Amino acid sequence: MIASVTGTAQHVGLDRVVVDVHGVGLLVHTPPAVAAGCRTGAAVELATSMVVREDSMTLYGFATPGERDTFELAQTVTGVGPRVAMAILSVLSPEQLAAAVAGDDIATLTKVPGIGKKGAERIALELRDKLPHVPGGEGAPSGVSAPTTGWQDQVTEALVGLGYSAKQSADAVAAVADEHEGGDVSRALRAALQVLAR
């Protein structure tokens, strides 16, 4: 799959960019804010997700890997496809989505075109345990740089990857945060695992 695209913006639309990669023009669908940040003839680097269907291959592009990961995660929700996932990221940042899911904020989720009350409730329910920790909420999307230090994000992600829930991981990282302000990721990870083993 194509995970990123780097090249020159050949054409910029409202919600799409054609990126020239060594003579090949790739059509990349983007949130409007991402397209607005691109300029024709300027260098472009996008984190991408490729959606393959029986009759099409569509490339979706984002400013950060965290946005791309959130786009892919949103599609794990029943009834949410690429269009709705793209609409979510056009209206909400990954952090705003995480906060809305953590706080069961149905009103915020229904601001997204195509999502009604039932859809918002389903998103809140199905994404709750899949979103890693952000301050002030139960979780934030994987790869999203929440306002914590880099080592804390890395350790939390590693723990989630090992099968612990987002909440367990965040709590363990918080428990060892004071001792590991230096940011040695491997030592902090070992300490967090010890906390979880108690």
What is the domain partition of the chain in residue ranges?
4-62, 65-128, 151-197
CATH architecture of 4-62: Beta Barrel (2.40)
What per-residue confidence (pLDDT) applies to 142? 37
Q: What is the pLDDT of residues 91-140, one digit of tens each?
A: 888 988 998 998 889 999 998 888 999 999 999 999 988 875 444 333 33
What per-residue confidence (pLDDT) applies to 161? 67
What per-residue confidence (pLDDT) applies to 194? 77
What per-residue confidence (pLDDT) applies to 109? 93
If one looks up domain 151-197 in CATH, what number appears?
1.10.8.10
What per-residue confidence (pLDDT) applies to 167? 82
CATH architecture of 65-128: Orthogonal Bundle (1.10)
Q: What is the pLDDT of residues 125-135, one digit of tens each?
A: 999 888 754 44
- Mean pLDDT, the chain, as a whole number? 83
Amino acid at residue number 176? V
pLDDT averaged per 10 residues in sequence order, the chain, 198 residues: 93 93 95 90 95 93 93 93 92 89 90 90 89 46 41 74 76 81 68 76
